[in-house]
Chains A and B, each alone.
Chain A
C-alpha cells in the first residue's frame, strides 16, 4: 500500500524547536528507551501477565490438594513453637535461687528395636545423628511445653545449655563422665562443667523469663528416635524411624540450699520424685477415629528410676526439642513460581534475540554505540519488571492460599499463624521475586550469547526442570549437589520453617532445602546471571553487530 503523502512535496526536515545538543544522555534515558521497547510489544505484555496468573493458579492448586497430617501432639513451647517434650525426670522443688549438681557417670544409647540387618551401618548412622540428652534441668512444673533450662551431655556434641526448646548453647566439648551444675538466680540460669567436681568451667548462661518462684530441678534423660532416609525409588522416598533409649547413671545429685523436705530418713533418694514428662500422653484422647494410627499403641514408659546408694540410674526416651514438619505452607503457596518462570524466561530471551533476528540490534547500536550500557539497561529493565511481577504474584498467591491451607488443617501450633510482614515470610516473597529476576537476567544474557531464542529458552528450562527430575532419581548426596549448583537452588530462599542445629534435619534435595542459609541458593542463581552477563558483555563488544 502507498504512503498517504503527496509525492513531490514534503515538509521541512528541520525540527520546529531546538534539540538537546551537548553531553551524553544519562543512563536513565537508556533505561526508559528499553522500557518502551519492552512494553510496546503487546505479545510480550500478554506473556508477562501470564506469569502472575500461572503463579497464583498453581499455588491455588497445590494448596487445594494439600492435606495437613494428623500430628502426634500439639504441644507448643513458651513462644508457640510446636515442640516435643518427653523425657524421664527425677526432680524436687527449688524455691528461690539455688543450684543443682551431679556427676554424669555414663550414658549408653540403645536402639530399642534391635536391627537384624546390622551390616548396613544404620545403627552407627543413628548413633551419630541422634541427640540423646542426659543432665540437669530446671523446669516450671511437669506440664509438657512449660519453661525450662537444662545442661546436658550429648554424645558427639559435648556439653550443651538449652532452654525453652529453641535455645541451644554449646559448652565444653566433653562427654560423660563429667560433673554438671545448674544455678538459678532469678530468671538467669547458668551452667557449669567440671571434670573433678572442684574446679568449674562456665558452660553458658540463659535467661528464662517468667520462671515462677518454685521450680522443679533434677537429673533428666531423653533419647530421640533416629530418622534416616531409606533407599530411594524413583520419585519416592521412604523414611525409617529407629526409636532409641538412653540409660544414664548419675552420681550424688545434690540441691543447694539443701532443704530437708518431708520425712528425713537420711537416704539419698529422699525428696526426689520420679516422673516421665510426655507430651504425647493424653493427647491421643478425644476424637480418635476407629482404625486411625494402628501402629500407635501407647508405648509403655521407661522403667522407673533406680537408686543404688547415691547412684541414680535413669532410662529415658523422647526428646526436648522443636518438632520438624515436612510441609512449609509459605513454600507451598509460592510453588507456582516455577510455572510463572517459564513465561518470564521466554520474554527475557525474546527481548534480545528478536533484535538479533531482525537486525534491529544494529538500529539499537547506532543509537547507543556503547553496547555494554545497552545490555545492562536491558538486564535492569527485565530484572525490575520480573521482580515486580514476582512480588505482586507472590503476595497474591499467599493471600489466596491462606484460607485454603487453613481449611486443609494447616493450623497452629504445628503450622503457626503468619503474616506478610514476618521476616521469614517477607524473605520468602522477596527472595522468590529476586530468584525470578535473576533467572530472567540469566536468560537475557544467554540469549545474547547464543543469539537464538530456541536454544536459550531450552537451556534455561532444562537447567531449571532437569535437576529436580534427576535429584529424585540420583543418590541423595549427588542429588543434593546437583540442586546446590543449578539455578533451582535459588528457591531454597522460600523456606520459612526454621532449622535448629540440635534437631537433625531430613532434606529431600528436590524440595529446595539444599542450603541451610536461605540466601545461599539465591547467591548461586545470581552467580549464573552475573557470569553469563559478563560473557555476553565481552562477546557483544567483540562481535560485529
Chain B
C-alpha cells in the first residue's frame, strides 16, 4: 500500500451520513465537503451532531449509512493517520499523571514521527517551558494548547478541531484564530466546530450550519448574512395606512410593527423610498435592516435547538 499524503489539496467528503443512538437520531443524511485552503466553521447548537460527525470522520464511531472520506479514503485505512489528519476532540482527554511531553511522545511514536517533532509542536503551542510538568496541573487553556500541539504533530493536511476556543482567555482566542488562519493559508483543510457563531465570525471562510443532525446551510459567511437579512426595510411614518397601501400595491409584504413603524420585506430600500415619494407618503426615516451573523444563525437554528432532556451525547 502506498500512501504519499499530499500536504495540501486534501478534502473531507461526507456523503449521506446517518447515525442513530438507540432512539435518538444524531446525524441525519448529512452531506458536505470541507475544502483545502480555507477555514470551514461547523456550527450548530449543542446536541446538533457536530461531535458525532467528527467522530465518524475520524473512524471512531461507525455510521449507519453514508460515508466520510479523508483525501478519498476512509480514515480507518490510513497508514499514518496523524500525517493526514490532526484532530482535537476533547482537551480533557489526557492522563493527568503524564507530562505534556510524554503525552505527545507516545502519540508521535504510534505514527513513527521523530522525537524532534514533539519539541517543535511544544514550542509552537507555547508549552516548551511546561513540557515536563504533569498535565493534571494544566489549566483548560493549556490543555487546549496541548491538544492543538498533538493535532499538529504529524504536520497534517487536514485539521479538525472540536470547540477549540472553549475555555480560552482572550489571548488564547486570538492565538487560535491566527493559527487557524495560517493553517488554512498553508493550504490545509481546516474544520472547526463551535456552538457560538460569534466565535467563528471573523475566522471562518465557509460555514456549515447543522441542527438536529441535519445540514441547515452550506454557505459562505457573506451569503448567510444576506439571506438572513431578507431585504427588510423599516419605515417610520405617521401615515401608516397610506404606506401599507402603497407598498402592498407594489407587491411587498408590509406589516405594522409598532406605533410608528412599518416593516417591509421583499423590496430593496431604494425602491421603497421611490414608491413612498411617488405616492406622497411622508416618512421620517427609512432604514435597511441588516442581520448580524448571530441573528442569521439564530434564525436558521431556531427550530433545531434541542430543548429539554435530549441530553445523551454532546453533539
Contact = CB atoms under 8 A, between A and B. Distances in A.
A24 B102 contact: no
A2 B110 contact: no
Nearest to A15: B155
Interface stretch (B29-37, B55-63, B214-222): B55-63
A155 to B, nearest CB: 67
A367 B97 contact: no
Nearest to B138: A1
Name A's interface SS: loop
A13 B75 contact: no
A29 B105 contact: no
A358 B61 contact: no
Contact of B172 (A2, A544, A545): A2
B97 A43 contact: yes
Nearest to B313: A544
A10 B152 CA distance: 13
- Give the size category of B's interface with A: 35 or more
A366 B60 contact: yes
B106 A358 contact: no
Contacts of A367: 81-82, 107, 110-111
A359 B5 CA distance: 28
Interface stretch (B10-18, B124-132, B279-287, B289-297): B124-132
Given A20-B112, A22-B3, A13 B155 contact: yes
Contacts of B4: 21-22
A29 B111 contact: yes
A23 interface: yes
A23 B4 CA distance: 8
Interface stretch (A32-40, A219-227, A395-403, A453-461): A32-40
A392 to B, nearest CB: 24
A261 interface: no
A11 B110 CA distance: 25
Nearest to A3: B126
A366 B117 contact: no
A256 to B, nearest CB: 80
Interface in A120-135: none
A176 B120 CA distance: 89
Interface string B1-26: 11111000000000000000000000
B109 interface: yes
Given A19-B117, A358-B92, A544 B61 contact: yes
Contact of B155 (A9, A14, A23, A24): A14
B126 A29 contact: no
B124 A11 contact: yes
B210 interface: no
Given A8-B175, A40-B102, A365-B60, A21 B85 contact: no
A198 interface: no
A14 B186 contact: yes
Contacts of B103: 40
A136 to B, nearest CB: 72
Most buried by B among A19, A25, A364: A19
A5 interface: yes
B94 to A, nearest CB: 7
A24 B117 contact: no
Contacts of A195: none
A422 B77 CA distance: 50
Contacts of A207: none
Given A41-B95, A360-B94, A366-B60, A15 B174 contact: no
Interface string B43-71: 00000000000010011111000000000
A107 B243 CA distance: 133
B226 interface: no
Contact of A5 (B80, B82, B94, B126): B126
B169 interface: yes
Given A17-B116, A36-B109, A362-B55, A545 B81 contact: no
A22 B79 contact: yes
Contact of A359 (B76, B93, B98): B93
Interface stretch (B177-185, B231-239, B262-270, B301-309): B177-185
Contact of B178 (A8, A41, A365): A8
B60 A24 contact: no
A368 interface: yes
A13 B76 contact: no
Most buried by B among A42, A366, A370: A366
A362 B79 contact: no
B204 interface: no
Contacts of B179: 10, 13
Nearest to A36: B106
A477 to B, nearest CB: 48
B193 interface: no
Contacts of B82: 366-367
A167 interface: no
B175 A7 contact: yes
B41 interface: no
B212 interface: no
A358 B141 contact: no
B128 to A, nearest CB: 9
Contacts of A9: 178
B113 interface: yes
A14 B179 CA distance: 12
A15 to B, nearest CB: 5
Contact of B142 (A3, A20, A21, A358): A3
A30 interface: yes
A308 interface: no
A16 interface: yes
A112 interface: no
A3 B141 contact: yes
A33 B116 contact: no
B192 interface: no
A1 B139 CA distance: 6
A287 interface: no
Contacts of A262: none
Contact of A40 (B5, B106, B114): B106
A540 B103 CA distance: 23
Contacts of A409: none
Contacts of B141: 1-3
B197 interface: no
B271 to A, nearest CB: 44
A369 B59 contact: yes
A13 B113 contact: no
B150 interface: yes
B67 to A, nearest CB: 15
A2 B76 CA distance: 36
Contact of A33 (B95, B106, B117): B106
Contacts of A23: 1-3, 79-80
Contacts of B83: 19-21
Contact of B120 (A1, A15, A20): A15
A419 interface: no
Interface in B133-168: 139, 141-142, 145, 150, 152, 154-155
10 tightest CB-CB pairs across the interface, nearest first? A5-B126, A25-B112, A40-B102, A359-B93, A33-B110, A33-B109, A7-B171, A544-B61, A36-B106, A24-B79
15 contacts: A3-B171, A8-B174, A13-B182, A14-B186, A17-B114, A24-B1, A24-B79, A24-B80, A25-B111, A33-B106, A36-B105, A40-B102, A41-B97, A358-B93, A359-B92
Interface of B: 1-5, 55, 58-62, 75-83, 85, 87, 89-90, 92-95, 97-99, 102-103, 105-107, 109-114, 116-117, 120, 123-127, 129-130, 139, 141-142, 145, 150, 152, 154-155, 169-172, 174-175, 178-179, 182-183, 186
Given A7-B170, A7-B172, 10 more contacts: A3-B145, A3-B175, A5-B175, A10-B182, A14-B155, A25-B79, A30-B110, A358-B94, A365-B60, A367-B82
